Amino acid sequence: MEATMLRPRSLTAGDTVAIVSPASWPEQSVPDWIARQVEAWGLRAVIAPHTLDRRGYLAGSDVDRAADLNDAIRDPEIRAVIASVGGCGSFRIVPDVDVDALRADPKLLVGYSDITALHQVWNAAGVPTLHGAIAGAHADHVRRLLTEDADTVVDADRGALSAGLTRTGTAEGPLLGGNLEMLARSVGVVDLDLAGGILLLEINRAAGLGMVDRALTQLRYSGALDGVAGVALGSIDQFVGYEDRGWSIVDTLRDHFDALGVPVLGGLPLGHVEDLVTVPLGTAAVLDVDHGRLTVGSPSGG
């Protein structure tokens, strides 16, 4: 797959950002906190009507969550969309996303974890996204990704657990992917075109080793990983000390990565970590394993 071409324009002072809950509901204070952060950047924030709705673990009904997301996509005043939280539920509204409106007026989506399901919709539409959140030590980098023509440089921590899976080499291609389980669930539901791309993988401890193995097996056997140029592996430190009948997460992942036979860079601060780095998906990237660095091009078109 070639790098995404429908790049949104960079946001300028006074532009509006929508805060939505396409998956689970956030704690009541979260949308207001996001709004204050966005407004501190000189932008305007609007909180979608159903952001705090509660229906079990979902932020309201599928119809209402999809409506909030589509209203943000269709509104020409809104220039980016921030998911309040992940959790569960994004997959349920995948068929309802107004892809035609998104292509006609591209805008960035910010989120990770369960929001991976929506990242795949944006990717299939040819529009980049931001995999991450606006919290943590790297929050200002999200501002730069939204408002400037900024690249992203992520250096690996050679002491992290996932660094033990590093395989030498260099790869180039669009950065694609996200949460492992959500990617596997996307097979057969969205157009999961990863060929030629660098596969970003983030895995949280909610998935046991058997679930990790099944997800990677599904991606491999379905052909979704055919032609992948490399793997950018986020943190798996939640699995430190965890074993299942003699195997660790490193053993499970190595078994599949060996079968892929592509460069792998582990130790990247991506995914379920306190100070995660937000990275664009769908734009050109370079995975320089020998120097322990992932470089990703700007998601905005100036």
Query: How many Å from the N-terminal Cα to the C-terminal Cα in the chain?
Result: 23
- Are the C-beta atoms of 156 and 104 separated by less than 8 Å? no
Region of 270 (left: φ > 0; alpha: ψ -120 to 50; beta: rest) is beta
Q: Could you tell me the two tokens for 97?
A: 């996303």
Distance CA 124, CA 118 (A): 10
Distance CA 280, CA 132 (A): 9
Which residues are within 8 A (CB) of 235 and not within 5 positions of it... i.e. 6 or more apart?
A: 160, 161, 162, 202, 268, 269, 270, 271, 272, 273, 276
Q: What angle do CA 132, 106, 93 make, to 5 degrees?
A: 65
Identify whether 202 is a catalytic site residue: yes
Q: Which of 50, 181, 272, 298 is catalytic?
A: 272
Q: Which of 141, 181, 186, 202 is catalytic?
A: 202
Q: Could you tell me the two tokens for 222?
A: 């379905």
Identify whether 119 is a catalytic site residue: no
Q: Which of 10, 24, 113, 248 is catalytic?
A: 113
Distance CA 207, CA 99 (A): 30
Q: Could you tell me the two tokens for 167?
A: 């395989």
Q: Which residues are catalytic?
A: 113, 202, 272
